[in-house]
Amino acid sequence: MDFDRHCAEIVAQTELLTGALEGADLRAPVPSCPGWSLGMLLRHIGGGHRWATEMVRTRATGFLPDDQIRDVAGDDSGPVPAEWLLSGAKEFAGALREAGPDTEVWAVFHYHTMTFWARRFANETTVHRADAMLAAGVPFSVDPAMALEGIEEWLELDALPEHFDITPEKRDLLGPGRTLVLAATDADAAWFLDLTGDVIQWRRGVSPAAVTVRAPLKELVLLVYRRASPADVEVEGDRELLDFWLSHVAFGWSARASAATVSSRPGNRCSNSARRRRTYVPFPASRCTIRPASRSARQWCVFVDFATGIGKDEHARSVSDGSAASSASTARRCGSASARNT
């Protein structure tokens, strides 16, 4: 999917969002974003688009204050702010197109062009649309091309080796025999994940694996983004390995390590020790709003990203909320990578 399509999808996904929410109650809770109302989620989406627009227009060379994303309090007694949401998405897409795909701008890791943010927010908006549909009780559907794009971006970013420097406990994923397959049942699409080496590797295709997940594309993208539970899909093989992998999928944020410091309550502050342990910001958050003690330090406090939403049953909640028991069990069974390397 190219830059122009990503820009178009930012607007298209927002149009689908607002069209489906006509008459919705902004006070409705968002099950996949614990502690948030639908109104808070929509303010986060619109604020995120405006934050990114400012970054694009100013050609930011560093992290910009993100109050528009994190401060989601507001009046939930009115109608869905459709015009505000649409204008923000259109302004953002227009700013991206005006800048062009190769123009430099601040981003994470080695991604320093507008292409990164166009892709990131196309997927961000799509998955937040799923959150909103869940809150409003409206069925969620997604274009197969967007589902494919969302899965592949997630796999690409999660496999970056820089994560091991930022959150060393992510190395616990690595070990002999740790392979997974995600296979779509309604499209010619599958991915093989190899955790047996020194880094996470993935490729398109199917190979023998310790655990294989089969589901329609929509369910696969919801599973990868932690909006669905393994109970919602067909799982063949090592379910514990699948649970363990899902508990660590968050662009460097570890559910295990963060369980004691991350709250689903908007406005929770991140401790100094937590800032020292996890010093990177992946992109706008949705499940939690974590506010470091100082604005200058805020960019370095890990923001629990929107991938850590809960699924539809207790299993998904335990995974997304950072079940230490599940992680510890698999680490004991398979052997902790960090322990093996000492």
Out of 111-115, 203-207, 291-295, which region has the weakest mean confidence (pLDDT)?
Answer: 291-295
Counting residues of the chain whose pLDDT is more than 90, the rounded percentage is 61
Pairing of strands 201-204, 190-194: antiparallel
Centre a 10 Å sphere on the Cβ of residue 96 and count the other Cβ atoms it contains: 26
* Inter-residue contact 45 to 125 (CB < 8 Å): yes
Tell me which of 21-25, 163-167, 170-174, 230-234 is least confident.
Answer: 163-167
Q: What is the pLDDT of residue 268?
A: 34
CATH number of 3-141: 1.20.120.450
Neighbours of 77 (CB within 10 A): 9
Torsion of CA 19, 54, 47, 97, to 10 degrees: 20
pLDDT tops 70 at residue 327: no
Q: Taking the model in full, what pTM does it have? A: 0.76
Q: Which three-class secondary structure state does DSSP give residue 190?
A: strand
pLDDT of 290 > 60? The answer is: no
With H, G, I as helix, E, B as strand and everything else as coil, classify residue 178: coil
Q: How far is CA 12 from CA 57, 124, 150, 213, in A?
A: 21, 13, 15, 30
Angle at CA of residue 111, ends 249 and 160, nearest 5°: 35
Handedness of CA 328, 334, 337, 340 (dihedral sign): positive
Question: 297, 305, 199, 310: which is closest to 254 by C-alpha?
Answer: 305
**How many alpha carbons fall within 13 Å on the CB side of residue 328?**
5
pLDDT band at residue 108, thresholds of 50, 70 and 90?
confident
Instruction: State whether residue 110 is helix, strand or coil.
Output: coil
Rounded CA-CA distance 158/172 in Å is 14
CA 98 distance to own-chain centroid: 27
Label residue 251 by pLDDT band (50, 70, 90): low
The pLDDT mean for the chain works out to 78
Predicted pLDDT at 164: 86
Instruction: Give yes or no for residue 167 having a pLDDT over 90.
Output: no
Closest CA to 302 of 327, 330, 325, 283: 283
Determine how β-strand 201-204 pairs with β-strand 234-237. Answer: unpaired
Domain ranges of the chain: 3-141, 153-253+306-340
Which of 1.20.120, 3.30.1050, 3.40.50, 3.60.21 would CATH assign to domain 153-253+306-340? 3.30.1050
Q: At 249, is the pLDDT very low, low, confident or very high (cuts 50, 70, 90)?
A: confident
Q: Under 8 Å CB-to-CB from 138, ≥6 apart: which residues?
A: 20, 21
Percent of the chain scoring above 70 in pLDDT:
71
Helix (H, G, I), strand (E, B) or coil at 194: strand
Q: Give the confidence band of 85 by pLDDT, cuts at 50, 70, 90.
A: very high
Helix H or strand E segment including 179: strand 179-184
CA–CA gap between residue 226 and residue 28 (Å, rounded): 20
- Of the candidate ranges 6-10, 69-73, 259-263, the one whose mean pLDDT is the lowest: 259-263
Average pLDDT, integer, range 154-163: 90
